[in-house]
């Protein structure tokens, strides 16, 4: 008897998710918990070492990163930040693994007069937006976070901006997905989306009722999605660690114009991140490392005493207005373009996209409709 080919052996799925990064896995987990059969196709490994979350520091900072021009994004960020504690607790229960959620707050600091004026404007902007921040004198900021340099000029505290360990979240999502029978397919590059599923680089067709594109910066490379306006923005980071026996350098996330330090709570710290338009290049450069250490060392001198574990670069999936693409577009469902906010926006994205897949109203703000760039029905 002729053996069944892989293609005919596989039953059609309710959903195929393209991309096994933090957003794709969270969408898959939430959709499977609603009873949908889900397959995740990931071009790299699982966990994915090419996904942005592998590099991301894990700031959950809608307030520290707020921009006056991006109010819908601020609302979505605040909504997602409010979902994080329950999302983390459910995920830890579902997987039995810690996700490193830390209720630590964020300090935004300035190193010179220009930056202090900028911090002043940032405080007034947040007050106008009605989000809680507390202005701190430099001496008070140093009481809160003694590792700060005596030379800092201004600071504010965003008490509700926290952090999580994105790698731990992805590990937990993989286990949680397996426990609700999500089919995980690492090493599975999607060449094209078609009506009714995806075609892999191997030529195999994965048949599914709905296709979710959560492929980060690689979404624009998939055939069948012409005009998808996602581009990679490179970010270099350093992973640093305190020596054994030494206490953690920082308790809070520390943010400044152009960078941040995110402590993990166990002595490890992530220092990020550059913003570079360099296509799909993920090389670490001497200049990137120099600038990160120069700025961080000026604000938190103890950083320069830490051990350097590694330097790496990832690709943020950016859109022209820095807001994500969420919802139906050209026969697929998009959950991509999260740019600097992928980790923060994971719970809000996963809950909305899972609701959409289950046939419910996902309550997605029109500001995130993919059709804002390519109106449905317009010639491409």
Interface residue list for ligand GLY (CB under 6 A): 59, 235, 272-273, 316, 340
Tokens 């195929």 found at: 16
Work out how close the CB of 107 gets to ligand GLY at its nearest, in angstroms, rounded to a whole number.
16
> 60 vs 333, which CB is nearer to ligand GLY?
60
Q: What's the token pair of residue 331?
A: 């026969």
Work out how close the CB of 59 gets to ligand GLY at its nearest, in angstroms, rounded to a whole number.
5
Distance CA 17, CA 23 (A): 10
DSSP string, 133-182: -EEE-HHHHHHH-TTS-TT--EEEEETT-EE--HHHHHHHHHHHHHHTTP
Q: What's the token pair of residue 339?
A: 């740019």
DSSP string, 12-79: PEEEEEE--SHHHHHHHHHHHHTT--EEEE-SS-SS-SSSHHHH---EE-TTTT--TT-HHHHHHHHH
274 touches 236 (CB < 8 A):
yes
Q: Is the dihedral of CA 140, 143, 147, 150 positive or negative?
A: positive
> 177 vs 262, which CB is nearer to ligand GLY?
262
Q: What's the token pair of residue 310?
A: 């590694």
Closest CA to 225 of 13, 8, 19: 19
Distance CA 170, CA 166 (A): 6
């Amino acid at each position: 008897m002729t053996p069944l080919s892989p293609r005919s052996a596989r039953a059609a799925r309710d959903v195929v998710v393209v991309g096994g990064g933090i957003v794709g896995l969270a969408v898959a987990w939430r959709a499977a918990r609603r009873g949908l059969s889900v397959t995740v196709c990931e071009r790299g490994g699982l966990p994915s070492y090419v996904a942005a979350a592998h590099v991301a520091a894990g700031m959950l900072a809608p307030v520290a990163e707020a921009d006056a021009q991006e109010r819908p994004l601020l609302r979505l960020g605040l909504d997602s930040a409010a979902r994080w504690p329950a999302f983390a607790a459910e995920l830890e229960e579902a997987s039995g693994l810690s996700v490193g959620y830390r209720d630590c707050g964020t300090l935004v600091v300035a190193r010179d007069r220009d930056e202090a004026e900028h911090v002043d404007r940032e405080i007034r902007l947040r007050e106008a937006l009605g989000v809680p921040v507390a202005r701190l004198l430099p001496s008070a900021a140093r009481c809160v976070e003694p590792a700060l340099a005596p030379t800092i000029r201004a600071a504010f505290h965003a008490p509700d901006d926290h952090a999580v360990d994105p790698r731990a979240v992805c590990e937990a999502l993989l286990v949680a997905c397996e426990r609700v029978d999500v089919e995980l397919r690492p090493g599975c590059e999607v060449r094209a989306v078609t009506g009714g599923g995806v075609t892999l680089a191997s030529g195999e067709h994965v048949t599914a009722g709905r296709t979710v594109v959560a492929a980060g910066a690689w979404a624009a490379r998939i055939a069948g999605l012409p005009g998808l306006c996602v581009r990679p923005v490179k970010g270099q980071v350093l992973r640093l660690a305190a020596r054994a026996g030494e206490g953690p350098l920082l308790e809070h996330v520390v943010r400044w114009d152009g960078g941040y330090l995110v402590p993990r709570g166990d002595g490890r710290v992530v220092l990020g991140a550059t913003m570079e338009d360099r296509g799909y290049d993920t090389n670490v450069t001497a200049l990137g490392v120099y600038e990160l250490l120069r700025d961080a060392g000026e604000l938190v001198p103890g950083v320069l005493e830490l051990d350097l574990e590694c330097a790496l670069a990832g690709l943020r999936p950016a859109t022209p207005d820095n807001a994500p693409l969420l919802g139906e577009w050209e026969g697929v469902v998009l959950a991509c373009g999260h740019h600097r906010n992928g980790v923060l926006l994971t719970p809000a994205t996963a809950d909305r996209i899972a609701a959409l897949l289950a046939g419910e109203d996902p309550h997605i703000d029109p500001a995130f409709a993919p059709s804002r760039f390519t109106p449905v029905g317009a010639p491409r």
